[in-house]
Amino acid sequence: MCGRARCALRPDDVPWACHRGGASVRTINMERYRPLYNVAPGWNMPVLRMDDEASDGDVVVLQCMNWGLIPSFTKKTEKPDHFKMFNARSESIKEKASFRRLIPKCRCLVVVEGFYEWKKDGSKKQPYYIHFKDERPLVFAALYDSWVNSEGETLYTFTILTTSSSPALQWLHGKSE
């Protein structure tokens, strides 16, 4: 997946898309969410995760988080760079400390209508919008973390897990890219 997506869903549609429509949903920071047709790293998106505070597995949290992981161990004085870790290759997340420590308890789902991928043709790039024909949402596995900046504000961020392109998309995003 490239660094752009379409996320114009209503917040109520996110649990439904993740097959958690019957669960109790607690919301956090959803007033920050703005539906957009061209979301980039650094922007807010709705994320669905398990509720750490609930003893019952039927409670989920719908939380608005920034796309682009800022690890909790980042220095408070550093300027966050959401473009550094907006995607993580699933094949190597266990090898990298930034991701490995998040696997047990900081997993989440990100729902979008589609994403944009660019095909290079010499010096030109042609964008393509990837989505289901029946317009159902795409659900991505992701990892999240929280970071406290120098002002004491806690920022929740996430990275989308990626893998090799499917055979249907090799023409667009082959192994060499």
Taking only the tens place, the pLDDT of each residue in 146-167 is 999 989 999 999 999 998 888 8
Specify the CATH number for the domain of residue 81.
3.90.1680.10
Whether the full predicted model's pTM is greater than 0.85, yes or no, is yes
Q: Domain containing 48: what range? A: 4-169
**Rounded Cα gap, residues 82 and 69, in angstroms:** 6
**144 lies in a domain?**
yes
Active site positions, annotated = 2, 117
CA distances in angstroms from 46 to 75, 96, 109, 154, 166, listed in the order given: 26, 25, 9, 17, 26
Q: Is the pLDDT of residue 175 over 60?
A: no
**42 lies in a domain?**
yes
Q: Is the pLDDT of residue 177 over 60?
A: no
**133 lies in a domain?**
yes
Residue with tokens 């509720």: 51
**132 lies in a domain?**
yes
Taking only the tens place, the pLDDT of each residue in 90-131 is 999 999 989 999 999 999 999 999 999 988 888 998 999 999
**Rounded Cα gap, residues 119 and 165, in angstroms:** 13
**136 lies in a domain?**
yes
**46 lies in a domain?**
yes
Taking only the tens place, the pLDDT of each residue in 46-79 is 999 998 876 666 789 999 999 999 999 999 888 8
Cα-based angle 81, 86, 90 (whole degrees, multiple of 5): 140
Q: 116 pairs with which residues across the strands?
A: 4, 129
Count of domains forming the chain = 1
pLDDT of residue 89: 94
**65 lies in a domain?**
yes
DSSP 52: T
Q: Is 138 exposed, middle or buried (0-12, 13-18, 19+ CB in 10 A)?
A: middle
pLDDT of residue 169: 86
